[in-house]
Amino acid sequence: MTIPEPAGPDLAGVHAAWLPPEAFRAIGSRHTLVFGEGGLVGTVHDEVARACARYGGRVRRAEAGPYDLVLALTAGEPLPEAAAEVRPAEAVGDEGYVIARRDGVTVVLADGPAGLLYGLFHVVRLGERAFAGERRAEHHRPATRRRMLDHWDNVDVHPVMGQVERGYAGGSIFWRDGAPRGDLARVRAYARLLAACGVNAISVNNVNVHATEARLLTDRLGDVAAIADVLRPYGIRVHLSVSFASPVAVGGLPTADPLDEDVRKWWTGVTGRVYETIPDFGGYVVKADSEGQPGPFAYGRDHADGANLLAEALAPYDGVVHWRAFVYNHRQDWRDRSTDRARAAYDHFAPLDGRFRDNVILQVKHGPIDFQPREPVSPVIAAMPATRLAVELQVTQEYTGQQRHVCYLAPMWREVLGFRPWGPGGAAVADVIGGGDLVGVSNVGDDPYWTGHPLAQANLYAFGRLAWEPRLDPAAVLDEWIDLTFAPVANGDVERSRHTLHAVMDDSWRTYERYTAPLGVGFMVRPGHHYGPDVDGYEYTPWGTYHFADRDGVGVDRTRATGTGFTGQYPPPWSEVYESLAGCPDELLLFFHHVPYGHVLRSGSTVIQHIYDTHFAGAEQVIEARRRWEEAAGLFDPSLHARVKDLLDEQVRCAQEWRDQVNAYFFRKSGVPDAHGRRIP
């Protein structure tokens, strides 16, 4: 198996992201042994060979040393001497590896070929450091079994949502105008980038499954198989979003009732054909009874009935069904204050705990509503001990600036993964999904920089790395990304580029939070496309009501005492902390409580003054980020620098619009002037 040069002629003009050829310099100039058999070992060999062709090193599959680098499978016989010395006492698992350096030889040992590939990319990350001094054996294993990206890509261009739903980076890399892209070189390069940060599963079509996309399961399965072939050499499995109504939509049956015998047979037959075509197929992703998608409710069945139907069909092949918990009433009456969208996932799913087959993975958005810049962690995560759970993050920046704003999301994800639903002594979210799945909605398209905003690449990279090791420090992940992406190709002063990127990115999520909806209240975005401010945009719509601002106060009362009772979905201590006005963390205050504008926060500021202060500060911080970036012209590739600069101009404009609309809105409602006398339009 030979892998074409990813940055070859077909990819001319596409940014190399975190794998510029120069990132392989340290490996490419050395002597390497790649020892073992299996498809992915071939990938490892080809990666090293390509680097050697560029930098003058040498790679062998057998033959006596000496070597600088040995990449070996533990099962190989006889194990090369350097590797035998660091052979671990216990197995490191299919995807794990050991890295060590002794007597001038760097060794990566893995039980399985995927582990060897991940070990190779570890060496790439270390660069020259991999070949210096001694290194005691370190064991690396992924914290999660599946590190998965969901693409919300449509095969057809959807009249409202376009080719990629909530996509901000151009068209799909898989599909174009109703057909697969013939040339999959871009997909191959994507797979390589993903393997380098640890991603091992992709779902290739939108969770909202329209007519053409439903056929991917049947007569267009070959298109999916072609993508699977390209992803396989990088250890990535393909999953497919399917419509619950497929038996009707593409199977010609009169019903999709999960308890109907013909429906069961249909899913069994179709799934068998999927596995004949794609033997390592991962499984199905399902959005059912959600925002208009069909589901089991139509037949008076529940979601355990629905999910188990598909799980049963997948079970003989070790396939899984990712069943999304994003189920809520999107046709509610804003006058009805008892309906609370935040409650919905728990109300639907917690009673079903224990009823799902063990190849059902309930996929839960990290917050109870919908990927807002600040939400509490979803209470579903603590409520279903007898169900396998995946947490879903949104890498695509639907509600966080749409890849026009710099918003490095790793600090938010780190908070989510580190949150302890049972309090300080209990397990963290990362432990709950440990050995399970972390899923992200991809932010990639056919844009030359992959992600529209070049700095949004860091979110994709960080997603993979945090899925592998949820305890990583976001600033350290950013450094890894900088070292791979920018250091090898830096125009001069690497440390200055690093300082600039940290200054612009480290706190960018909190900056975004400051100039948008305050104190966890959420939304306030323009309905439909969700970009830019519209304080009352959703307030009187059927989708949910989010702030309840009047002349006296703002926020949603979700307490048990006087509100929707949502706080009761948390175990203690959070059920008490969130219930209590005094105990509730400031950043979530308006998510849980309706308070007067003069309410004094834990910070000492009043709510209204906090709104003014954070909005002025957030907009200023974006201006400062732009200044730092402008100062760094010359340190970065000129076209990348220019693209980011243009986007920062837009971010400054948009942040000021947010500031002015939010401040003006609350000044007009409350009549309370800014304590510092700043101009509020």
CA dihedral of 605, 607, 609, 614, whole degrees rounded to 10:
90
Contact between residue 121 and residue 23 where contact means Cβ atoms under 8 Å apart: no
Among positions 326, 328, 346, 461, the unique one binding ligand GCU when judged by CB under 6 A: 326
Q: Of 150, 312, 370, 587, which one is the catalytic site residue? A: 370
Write out the binding residues for ligand GCU, residues 586-615 only, by CB under 6 A.
none
Q: How far is the CB of 528 from ligand GCU (least distance, A)?
A: 9
We find the least distance from the C-beta atom of residue 287 to ligand GCU, in angstroms, to be: 5
- Do 156 and 213 meet the contact criterion of CB atoms below 8 Å apart? yes
**How is the chain split among helix, strand and coil, in percent rounded to 5?**
40, 15, 45
Distance in Å, CB of 531 to ligand GCU, minimum: 12
Least spacing, CB of residue 242 vs ligand GCU, in Å? 14
Footprint on residues 385-404 left by ligand GCU (CB under 6 A): 398
Q: Which is nearer to ligand GCU, 165 or 340 (CB)?
A: 165
Q: Which of 95, 153, 398, 557 is catalytic?
A: 398
Catalytic residue from among 81, 276, 291, 318: 291
Q: Residue 165 or 480: which CB sits closer to ligand GCU?
A: 165
Q: Does 188 bind ligand GCU (CB under 6 A)?
A: no
Helix intervals (H) in 136-260: 185-197, 211-214, 221-231, 246-249
Residue 200: closest CA among 438, 383, 12 = 438
State which residue, 26 or 416, has the beta carbon closest to ligand GCU: 416
State which residue, 68 or 398, has the beta carbon closest to ligand GCU.
398
CB nearer ligand GCU, residue 369 or residue 490: 369
> Shortest Cβ distance from residue 290 to ligand GCU (Å)?
6
Residues of span 286-325 touching ligand GCU by CB under 6 A: 287, 291
Q: Is 348 in the site for ligand GCU (CB under 6 A)?
A: no
Structure letter (DSSP) for residue 208: S
- 165 touching ligand GCU, by CB under 6 A: yes
Check: CB of residue 103 under 8 Å from CB of residue 68: no
Sole residue written with tokens 């939010």: 662
In the complex, the smallest distance separating the C-beta of residue 121 from ligand GCU, rounded to whole angstroms, is 30
Least distance (Å) between residue 150 CB and ligand GCU: 9
**370 tagged catalytic:** yes
287 contact partners, CB below 8 Å, separation of at least 6: 207, 208, 209, 241, 293, 324, 326
CB of 326 to ligand GCU, least distance (A): 5
Q: Which residues of 244-317 form beta strands (DSSP E)? A: 283-286
How far apart CA 163 and CA 148 sit, in angstroms, is: 21
Query: Nearer Cβ to ligand GCU, position 95 or 165?
Result: 165
Nearer to ligand GCU, 94 or 539 (CB): 539
Which CB sits closer to ligand GCU, 143 or 439? 439
Smallest CA-to-CA distance from 622 within 404, 398, 395, 402 is with 404
427 forms beta bridges with none
Residue with tokens 């224990």: 354
Query: Per the omega criterion (within 30 degrees of 0), is the bond before 573 cis?
Result: yes
Residues in contact with ligand GCU, shown as a per-residue x/- string from 201 to 240 under the rule CB under 6 A: ------xx--------------------------------
Write down the least CB distance from residue 394 to ligand GCU, Å: 8
When the beta carbons of 287 and 510 are compared against ligand GCU, the nearer one is: 287
Q: Looking at beta carbons only, is 161 or 503 nearer to ligand GCU? A: 161
Instruction: Map the footprint of ligand GCU across residues 358-377, applying CB under 6 A.
Output: 370
Helix H segments across 4-102?
A: 25-28, 39-55, 81-85
CA neighbor of 578 nearest in space, from 416, 379, 372, 385 = 379
Compare residues 165 and 312 and give the one whose CB is closer to ligand GCU. 165
- Total of chain residues touching ligand GCU, rule CB under 6 A: 9
For the window 624-653, what string marks contact with ligand GCU as x by the rule CB under 6 A?
------------------------------
Q: To which H or E segment does residue 575 belong?
A: helix 574-579
Amino acid identity, residue 606? T
Tokens of 588: 């979530």
Q: Can you tell me which of 146, 166, 188, 643 binds ligand GCU, judged by CB under 6 A?
A: 166
3-state secondary structure of 324: strand
Maximum pairwise Cα distance, the chain: 82
The residues, ordered by sequence, that sit 6+ positions from 109 with a Cβ below 8 Å of its Cβ are 72, 73, 74, 83, 86, 87, 88, 92, 97, 98, 100, 119
Q: How far is the CB of 539 from ligand GCU (least distance, A)?
A: 17
**Nearest distance, CB of residue 365 and ligand GCU, angstroms:** 7
Angle between helices 410-418 and 457-468 (to 10 degrees): 20
User: Distance of CA 134 to CAs 107, 368, 422, 483, 613, Å?
Assistant: 11, 48, 42, 22, 52
291 as an active site residue: the answer is yes
Please check whether residue 536 is in contact with residue 387, taking contact to mean a CB–CB distance below 8 angstroms: no
Give the residue carrying structure tokens 């990290």.
366
Active site residues per annotation: 291, 370, 398
Q: Which residues bind ligand GCU (CB under 6 A)?
A: 165-166, 207-208, 287, 291, 326, 370, 398
